[in-house]
Structure 1
């Protein structure tokens, strides 16, 4: 009994610090809807080429998630966090020479490094939060922590719209009238607008790292992993013998693809459907869509007291399918506002799928967490498909059929895929 109070206090401190990390990767993901139109202008890109910004970020997750899980398994949570923060800061600092060179490839490399750091943070933080308390409330606790992820989600497009987007928009025909010197000066001006914001981001991340250096975090002792039928504990692909892990990875892949696709092209979508200028669209995305996303996290945490997480997940997936159908078929404000409503109902999806996917796994939750973070690679594949549809059809609105289909996979997971089914034992054991 005497140890319970200090343990509870250390859990609260750990919870508060880990929650700050949710802001950082939220900022990374939600600055992309600003970077895509910005670098499209500065580097003169097509919709498909500009979508590679998302690809660079989410391929970082795919390639680094398993190494991050193994690193965490061997060295613990704290060292994983510090290494992730260091990578994040290095990637942000590389934006400065990338802007000077006005090299799109250099920007993509810098984004890949930032994403690699965020992968470490996310691989550590999601499972760590679920272990800081009672198992029965793990989904609710993760949703609460992810609510602060929502803060980063709405701040990123607002800050980016204010300090990165110039508000200067020229048509291709107008750019053809520029002399080579005028065009070079304009493109250099656009690219340079990114330097100061990313210099500040690198500094803030290093400051957060210092807090972690001087704070002692409780190392959570996991329950023993299940025997794999051959007398040793598994930390490998055998985690997929649990069907709910398999379906969680599939659902997370399509959910993240939908989330990224919905946000990444909103500025283009609002311009296409109602002629909204880029700065105004960024403002709307930040103050309506992402505030809705943040409030949705808090509301979802509350609703889970009365509605089972899987049922709430299914309900929200159905609502998003309806909203995207309206966005596809309507025009003007109706189309744009339907799309702005989608993030509220996306809000609980990632943490709920994640928590349900690692439920009942013990030590295997670490490797399952790595695979779930790897599934974020859906964000690398869905936006290019949308960009290709837009380039081929001339309609960015038509491209939104892709996230609609993605939410159908989320619906299936919340309906049946989440159920824990005992894996069959090997014959003869």
Structure 2
């Protein structure tokens, strides 16, 4: 999943900058943070079908797990900003990693009991730590290096986020699904015995112990690293200047906020229910472990799509690329809903290519023309990431009308993105007139 972009402080002046070696060292550490939260977020895609079998959950209860994850983004974002203001960016990075490690250890406790409630709490803690990292790490990327290459650095660390998301299904498939009875059982196999459920629940302990150790080591490394000082942040525009502008006059922002919110429902719904969908007898007839290998292709497609989209947008207006992607996504989701067998399976896999450019493109179009209100508008778009919590709606639809039919919700989400690309993202006439003056 794409990491949100936030308004960054002014880069460190070249005269105060560390040498190129320090830049490269610091950027490597920052890239590792993007990799880790992309990796840990997508582990959920292999964890959810595992927990569904262990706790015998409905689709509603299964998707509630991911809803709790994204509720953390909404709840923890403001406290994270206040913490950064109080203790600084570098210490906040360390605190975020420690919080994530604590949540990973909580997953081990939940597996030993085992407990669905403790699992939800532990995942909420991990997501809260990731939220703090998201808020603290992005500004560092902007200052670690020459100002003229800031955009290049941001794209680089976003690629590492995608790399983590691409590799996570292989890790989860091997260490979680591949070491459990439910993960290696044939589709439609008999229900697990209590002893098998307990053994499956405890298979989560090793992978989360590995994650916790890596996070603690990374926290120690960052705490001891001489990262460049942040320098003075760009001052907010004067209150009197901002008073002459209104967020409500920017149509591209007003429609962009629900576009981010609705898109997240689509992306998270596909990722969370992917393994259950692929493993169905009428679709792929695979085990959960085998289905996780196809999940690797879904997230890999998103990584490839970002590079392709970046190239295309150098020659084609971003809104046109977004419109084409939303049409493609809607078409393949309809195929996934109404087709069967490998046709439906590959249709769902291919949606990653179309989803890849949606978040950053909607975000960029949403803040276009905001001028002195860019900071406020960016904050509202970031808060809209909480839309991922509504994946529980698709879980409820899957319980009521069937898993395959629930993807009609995803297709509907793509239509709103198309609306935004065609009309909603246009800068209001009065704003365009002001810019022309």
Query: TM-score, normalised on structure 1?
Result: 0.84
Match of 2:30 in 1: 18
Instruction: State the match for 1:215 in structure 2.
Output: 226
Separation in 2 of the partners of 1:243 and 1:137? Answer: 31
Match for residue 259 of structure 2?
251
1:373 matched to 2:385: no
Post-superposition offset of 1:151 = 0.9
Assess, with a 3 A threshold, how the Cα gap between structure 1 residues 72 and 384 changes in structure 2: closer, same or farther: same
Structure 1 segment 333-348 matched on structure 2, within 5 A? 333-348=342-357
Match of 1:307 in 2: 316
* SS of match in other structure, 2:279: helix
Aligned with residue 198 of structure 2, among 170, 188, 197: 188
| Separation (CA, whole Å) in 2 of partners of 1:226 and 1:245 | 19
1:319 match: 328
Give the 3 Å change call, closer, same or farther, for CA 171–397 of structure 1 in structure 2: closer
**Which of 221, 225, 234 is residue 236 of structure 2 equivalent to?**
225
Question: Structure 2 residue aligned with 1:41, among 38, 42, 53?
Answer: 53
User: Which structure 2 segments of 5+ residues have no match?
Assistant: 1-12, 433-437
Q: 1:298 to 1:377 in 2, by over 3 A?
A: same
In structure 2, relative to structure 1, the CA distance for the partners of 1:313 and 1:141 (3 Å cut) is farther
1:410 aligns with 2:417: yes
Contact 1:223-1:362 at 8 Å conserved across structures: no
Cα separation, 1, equivalents of 2:89 and 2:250 = 24
* More displaced 10-residue stretch of structure 1: 111-120 or 355-364: 355-364
- C-alpha deviation, 1:133, in angstroms: 7.7
Structure 1 unpaired stretches of 5+ = 425-429
2:294 to 272, 284, 308: 284
SS in 2 for 1:250: helix
Q: Answer with 7-16 or 65-74: which moved more.
A: 7-16
CA–CA distance in 1 between the matches of 2:187 and 2:100?
Answer: 35
Aligned with 1:124 (options 136, 142, 147): 136
Give the 5 Å matches for 1:74-113: 75-113=87-125
Q: 1:368 to 1:120 in 2, by over 3 A?
A: farther
CA distance in 1, matches of 2:410, 2:242: 43
Q: Does 1:169 align with 2:185?
A: yes
Change (3 A) 1:231 1:36: closer
Q: What CA distance in whole angstroms lies between the structure 1 residues aligned with 2:220 and 2:350?
A: 38
In 1, the alpha carbon distance for the partners of 2:266 and 2:148 equals: 29
1:155 and 2:167 aligned: yes
User: In structure 2, do the counterparts of structure 1 residues 346 and 257 end up closer, same or farther at CA, with 3 Å as the change threshold?
Assistant: same
Q: Contact conserved, 1:245 with 1:357, CA < 8 A, in 2? A: yes
Q: Is the 8 A contact 1:146 1:351 kept in 2?
A: no
Aligned equivalents of 1:240 and 1:11: distance in 2? 40
In structure 2, the residue matched to 1:397 is: 404
Q: 359-368 vs 52-61, which deviates more? A: 359-368
- CA RMSD between the two structures: 3.3
The Cα offsets for residues 368-408 of structure 1, whole Å up to 9 and x where unpaired, read as 55433322211111x21111111112x21100011111122
For the pair 1:66 / 2:82, whether they are aligned, the reply is: no
